[in-house]
Chains A and B, each alone.
Chain A
Amino acid sequence: MNLVEALAISKQALPEDTHPLRTFLACGFTPLHLQTFLAAHLRKRLPQQRVELKTGLFGDLAGSIERLPSSSCDVLAVVIEWQDLDPRLGIRSLGGWRAADLPEILKSANQAAARLEQALRRTSASIPVCICLPTLPLPPLFTTSTRQASAYELQLRQLVGSFAASISSESSLRVLDLQRLDELSAPSARLDVQSELMAGFPYKLPHASAIAELLAALIQNPTPKKGLITDLDDTLWAGILGEVGTEGISWDLDQHTHMHGLYQQFLGSLASAGVLLAVASKNDAALVEKAFERKDLILSKENIFPLEVHWSRKSESAQRILKTWNIAPEAVVFIDDSPMEVAEVKAAFPEMECIVFPKNDYQAIFELLKRMRDLFGKNVISEEDSIRLKSIREAGILRESGNIPGRSLDDFLQEADASIRFAFGKQAADNRAFELINKTTQFNLNGKRLTEAAWKAYLNDPAAFVMTANYEDKFGPLGKIAVLLGRIQGKALRIESWVMSCRAFSRRIEHQTLKQLLEKFDAKEISFDYQATPRNGPLQEFFAQLLGVAPTVDLRFSRATFSEKSPSLFHHVEEVVNG
């Protein structure tokens, strides 16, 4: 993006009736074109949102952050440069580059980093913070030649590395990846000496645009994809199974098919982070079964569910996989080496990301892995991520058990030996609860999403409560599957948000949730900020079944009504402070 384009985008009419994304850009230099580029990249990424961008006091990065009232913005973007750690690490200051000054520069940089870290941690308790570490070359202040790294330079880089590693442990602090920045902006073409000295703006325009582009992506923090459907032949492995047999397929250096091994390894990594994997292959099922018995496969069959192996259309396989996973096509990536199969699935599911596996092109496969990391990347791996696939498998068993003739749902639920742990603590670090609120569509009270800032404000509001539910039965744990946000007003409860994972349907967890809530707060009445959405059919159905009528906007009922209408519940219930 060049500056003319950025100015044009920034000056487009803003959507008026939406909640603005109030962004604060903190940097120690004059923000000038970086501000323009950041506003433009944010507008480009969030066309439906009004972006407001404010900046702090120049030359005082830490002070700008320390003085920032967290209620005044939704997200903080911080761009650190070397001179923010010590002015002598820039070129505008003439504080001395004598050999004797170097230990002192290092010491003051350590102090500045500690102050910055403290300010960033404090701010991140209220709003998300996106940080760009120093990107400019250090000036030639060290006594070694520029070919040789000075011990002081290495210590400065170590300081920044340790600082970044320390703050990135906070889920609300997101650090921009400098390796990715290097791909977009060559390190030798970043510093604009004239602009720095004459205008106080140190970046060449393409570099400013690259930083802004990546910062905007960090701020947007797009929802990661949830599932990946892969082909087998010439994708998961090299070779056509039906032609070369189980011993003929390969994924190793000797056969020059190592990239398929790398792809398997990558899928294993995704699975370990909670991504659902399935196979859609036109193949002989018995042969595939045998192929998966090979001990040298990098990706375990245990990581894949379901396997759709037959000769029907791939779009039919994709349809069945989506049904098993119970997720929407836009949350899924489909990968196949055949452009025709990819086109067929894309035609059936336009919202699905469908990608041709670039077999025989090492570099393109490597680029594909990077692209997929962007599609599936997440900040934190939760306990639920590790049990998601297992619980989907068990949901299938549960559905089948529930369909046995002559046995009622009550019989089945009674034998399930289910327990629910309800928690009412407000843990700011509870990413799972925040994630559930922002990605659940089907059992969702109103479809409203929360920004990280709004979520933190909710946690800090003494009048509000957060209830979460962890579920487990004889088929295994489901982890944290429900979140409810509300307020108590005398003897009445007002529920503002309620979501439950689709993996937890058909277990009457929603009934038990309301029962516990009414009992805990000794409430006489409960009302809901309910809104029908195109996707929340399961929630509408729940209320319709419970009350005997379709829910309306002013949804409320008494405790007595609930007690009268609620079906039998068989869960063991436990209440804890923090779940």
Chain B
Amino acid sequence: MDEMETRLIRCFSSVFPDLTTEQIRSADMETVPAWDSLAAVTLVAILQEEFGLQINLMDLPELVSFVAVQNYVRKHNVVS
């Protein structure tokens, strides 16, 4: 697990404290009932805080799973 993934899992864990690390890795909006619009906005706020990036809320519809979020953060070349 690289450092970025560890930080990402920590972010997810803050919003979905009931999920294990393995469940987080495979999490998506369909399978996690707690992942509603409120959780999505909270997750975005936490990602912005943790990685210092500005996420356009228009991109929310594509951030529907852990893998999608991971790809999004990687794509935006986050190193902080």
Chain A positions near chain B (C-beta within 8 angstroms): 2-4, 7-8, 11, 32-33, 36, 194-195, 198-199, 201, 205
Contact = CB atoms under 8 A, between A and B. Distances in A.
Contact of B42 (A2, A3, A194, A198): A3
Interface in B1-22: 10-11, 14-15, 17
A4 B10 contact: yes
B42 A32 contact: yes
A198 B49 contact: no
6 contacts: A4-B49, A7-B14, A7-B17, A32-B41, A32-B42, A205-B48
Residue with the greatest number of chain B CB neighbours at <10 A, chosen from A4, A11, A201, A205: A4
A4 B11 contact: yes
Interface in B37-78: 38, 41-42, 45-46, 48-50, 56-58
Contacts of B11: 4
A32 B40 CA distance: 11
- The prevalent SS among residues of A at the interface is helix
B46 A199 contact: no
A8 B17 CA distance: 9
B17 A3 contact: no
Contact of A8 (B14, B38, B49, B57): B14
A195 B42 CA distance: 11
Contacts of A201: 41
Contact of B57 (A2, A198, A205): A198
A22 B58 CA distance: 36
A468 to B, nearest CB: 49
A4 B42 CA distance: 10
Contacts of B15: 7
Contacts, number: 37
A195 B57 CA distance: 8
Contact of A4 (B38, B50, B57): B50
A427 B7 CA distance: 56
Interface of B: 10-11, 14-15, 17, 38, 41-42, 45-46, 48-50, 56-58
A264 B15 CA distance: 51
Query: Which has the most chain A C-beta neighbours within 10 Å: B10, B38, B42?
Result: B42
A205 B48 CA distance: 10
Contact of A205 (B14, B17, B45, B56): B45
A194 B41 CA distance: 12
Given A8-B14, A11-B17, A3 B45 contact: yes
B34 to A, nearest CB: 12
B41 A3 contact: no
A36 to B, nearest CB: 7
Contacts of B58: 198
Contacts of A205: 45, 48-49
A91 to B, nearest CB: 15
Contacts of A7: 14-15, 17, 42, 46
A7 B41 CA distance: 14
B49 A3 contact: yes
A193 to B, nearest CB: 11
A374 to B, nearest CB: 28
A4 B46 contact: yes
Given A4-B10, A4-B50, A8-B14, A194 B45 contact: no
- The 8 A-B pairs with the shortest beta carbon distances in the complex, nearest first, are A198-B57, A7-B14, A4-B14, A199-B41, A3-B46, A2-B49, A11-B17, A3-B45
B44 to A, nearest CB: 9
Nearest to B40: A199
Contacts of B38: 32
Contacts of B41: 32, 199, 201
Contacts of A198: 57-58
Most buried by A among B17, B41, B45, B58: B45
A199 B10 contact: no
Nearest to B45: A3
B12 to A, nearest CB: 11
Given A3-B14, A4-B49, A195-B57, 17 more contacts: A2-B49, A3-B46, A3-B49, A4-B10, A4-B50, A7-B42, A7-B46, A8-B14, A11-B17, A32-B38, A32-B41, A33-B42, A194-B57, A198-B57, A199-B41, A199-B57, A205-B48
Contacts of B10: 4
A397 to B, nearest CB: 62
Nearest to A197: B57
Contacts of B42: 3, 7, 32-33, 36
Contacts of A11: 17
Contacts of A195: 45, 57
Contacts of A8: 14
Contacts of A4: 10-11, 14, 46, 49-50
B32 to A, nearest CB: 16
A235 B41 CA distance: 52
Contacts of B56: 194
Contacts of A199: 41, 57
